[in-house]
Amino acid sequence: MSGLSRVACTCLLAGAFSGAWAQAGIYTCTDAKGRRLTSDRPIPECLDREQKELNPRGMVLRVRPPVPTANEEAEQARKERQLADQRQREAEQKRLDKLLLARYPTQSAFDAEREKNLASLQNNPQERARAVARYDADLQRLKPQWAPSTTAANDAEASVKR
């Protein structure tokens, strides 16, 4: 290999490695003693602190949050479980509302069923009170869903009468 080709090959390899080196981030943080640490990879001494990843020009690319402790991970898992439980309850409530709406498509159907069932509970005032509370709760959930359908039904009736 001639001297010129060696120099060209060396320059080519050096350029390739310097390009790869330029792509690497620079990590900085301030440790517990207040010292500013800088490294080409995440800093182990600062895992409990925020670390900034900088580009070669010194601009912040991203901020790496501290690694959570076991207690923080447990708290996060608890919050995620609570959120999942809440979503599940909301989905179940939507399902129940759809079933109620399918059973009682209009308020008149609801009122007729309510009166029939309450009449059968005349002799048991405690059970009647519980049933009235259940019907009232169902009525409150169904009223907003009936509103558009009742106006559509009224419009349909008006157009038939014309």
Q: Where are the domains of the chain?
A: 105-145
pLDDT at position 62 over 80:
yes
pLDDT digits over 94-113, tens only?
Answer: 998 888 888 888 888 888 88
Question: What is the C-alpha separation between 104 and 85, in angstroms, rounded?
Answer: 28
Q: Provide the Cα torsion 99, 105, 109, 115; round to 10°.
A: 30
pLDDT at position 86 over 70:
yes
pLDDT at position 21 over 50:
no
Largest CA distance in the chain: 112
Give pLDDT, residue 128.
83
| Residue 61, both tokens | 């690319």
pTM: 0.48
| Mutual angle of helices 125-161 and 107-119, in 10-degree steps | 150
DSSP-derived 3-state class of residue 51: strand
Q: Are 46 and 29 in contact (CB under 8 A)?
A: yes
Average pLDDT (71-80) is 94
| Residue 31, both tokens | 């440790």
Query: Given pLDDT bands bounded at 50, 70 and 90, which one contains residue 162?
Result: very low
Cα angle for residues 101, 106, 110 (degrees, 5° grid): 80
Give pLDDT, residue 67.
87
